[in-house]
A and B are shown apart, each in its own frame.
Chain A
Amino acid sequence: MTTAAGPVTLTLPPVATMVRVGRLTASSIASLADMSIDDIDDIKIAVSEMITLLIQSGSRATITLRFETTDEQFTVEASTPSGASDLGRNDLALATAVLEAVADEHQIASTADRILLRIVKHLVPQSSSIATV
């Protein structure tokens, strides 16, 4: 069962200490989706990578995180206005390797005015509570 009351949006100032705030918020929301401990750990890592990338690559403007849970998946979108230092000039290799490992899907997109990151974690039922006769 998921608690799909609707998307949750969080805005953060682009400072390093806010990475932890975003990570812990993501953990709380993911726990409402009946995710396993391992999957919640994956979400924490993914969100940490996303916020870090946006702080390092954006225009030092507000970072917006959007969390959405459906019966099938948990989605996190993170975005910020583009800055002088685009994503290509950062060391993306480590962060991309991590996102590939912890998320079922991930996208990194950069336009002239915005950087958008998106990850999806597929939800797997945690117990066989569906036992109809």
Chain B
Amino acid sequence: MEEIGKNESIRVLLDPDGVVVAEGDIDLAGGPLLDTAIVRVEGPNPVVIDLAAVEFIDSSGLRSLLAASRRAESRNTHVVLRKPSTGVMRLLSITGTTEQFTVQDAPTEAGGGVDPR
């Protein structure tokens, strides 16, 4: 995997299939690095972001994901959040933004309405 960047909050990688892999915290410091990686893979296909190793996200991190979703919508595609933690799912639920994304492999306690692929 190619490392796009890292700082005290986050490490962002790009796997050979073009999946953005985030590890750590998506906050005010981590969001901009995630933005850089997302912009790099944007195109006609869905943007897939693997969140399995994301331990924390706040609303500033969520803004990065929502901005990616808006840009994807303008290209007639969407953003896939893969393996989000319960913390990520809770923030999406709190802010009413779950529907902005396609969610894959969500934790079982997060409930239905997600893509099980």
| Residue ranges of A at the interface with B (Cβ–Cβ < 8 Å) | 16-17, 19-20, 23, 41, 44-45, 48-49, 51-52, 55-56, 91, 94-95, 97-98, 101-102
Contacts and interface: CB of A to CB of B under 8 A. Distances in A.
A19 B8 CA distance: 10
Give chain B's interface secondary structure class. Answer: mixed
- Per CB-CB distance, the 4 closest pairs between chain A and chain B, nearest first, are A16-B29, A94-B59, A48-B58, A16-B28
Contacts of A44: 56
Interface of B: 7-9, 25, 27-29, 56, 58-60, 62-63, 87, 91, 94-96
Contacts of A49: 58-59
19 contacts: A16-B27, A17-B9, A19-B58, A20-B8, A20-B29, A44-B56, A45-B56, A45-B58, A48-B56, A48-B58, A49-B58, A49-B59, A52-B27, A52-B28, A94-B59, A97-B95, A98-B58, A101-B94, A102-B94
A55 B87 CA distance: 23
A52 B59 contact: yes
Contacts, number: 56
Contacts of B25: 20
Give chain A's interface secondary structure class. Answer: helix
A66 to B, nearest CB: 20
B9 A20 contact: yes
A81 B28 CA distance: 20
Contacts of B62: 94
A17 B7 contact: yes
A2 to B, nearest CB: 25
A71 B87 CA distance: 27
Contacts of B56: 23, 44-45, 48
